[in-house]
Amino acid sequence: MLALVKNGKLDDVPLSAETFRGYLDLQPFDRLNRRIAAVNQAEIFPVSMMSYLPVLESFKLETLGDVQHFIDENSDDAYQLAISQLALTDLDILSSNTALQYLCLVYVLKHDGGRDGLKSLYDLINGESDANGKLADMMMEQAKTLRFMQ
């Protein structure tokens, strides 16, 4: 499986903890992370992205090819959502899962997840909390003017 990942035959590789770990070695989110970080000239702090595996599985992504298509289809919109939030801040350190988080947020919004879908996403990422409802409300408010929401 790891040889298939290294050779870019991602459509043939089922999404699992082991294959996702190998895929992360290819740094598939690095380009979008750098693009987002450039808004504030922020540094990128490495963190584990394995906690996002259940999220990707909840989106019914079954192969690493599906994950790559997910990235390709949502990167521009994830970037727009990120800059709509980060451009007015002075954050100078972002975690390496920033791109993946915005990709997931965009996916939920594009697939009519609305507030409940966002809250469920935040619950998966952060653990269940009433605060996640407030995060979902804020995200809905900020995202409503973006092109992909029209």
* pLDDT tens by residue, 28-84: 999 999 999 998 889 999 999 999 999 999 999 999 999 999 999 999 999 999 999
Look up the pTM and report it: 0.92
Residue matched to tokens 């790559």: 68
Query: Taking Cα atoms as reference points, which of 23, 13, 29, 21 lies closest to residue 71?
Result: 29
Q: How far is the C-alpha of 77 from the C-alpha of 103, rounded, in Å? A: 8
* 3-state DSSP helix/strand/coil % of the chain, to nearest 5: 65, 5, 30
CA dist list (Å): 32 to 24, 35, 37, 40, 82:
14, 5, 8, 14, 10
Whether 59 contacts 107, CB under 8 Å: yes
CA dist list (Å): 122 to 14, 55, 125, 135:
25, 10, 5, 8
pLDDT, tens only, 96-112: 999 999 999 999 999 98
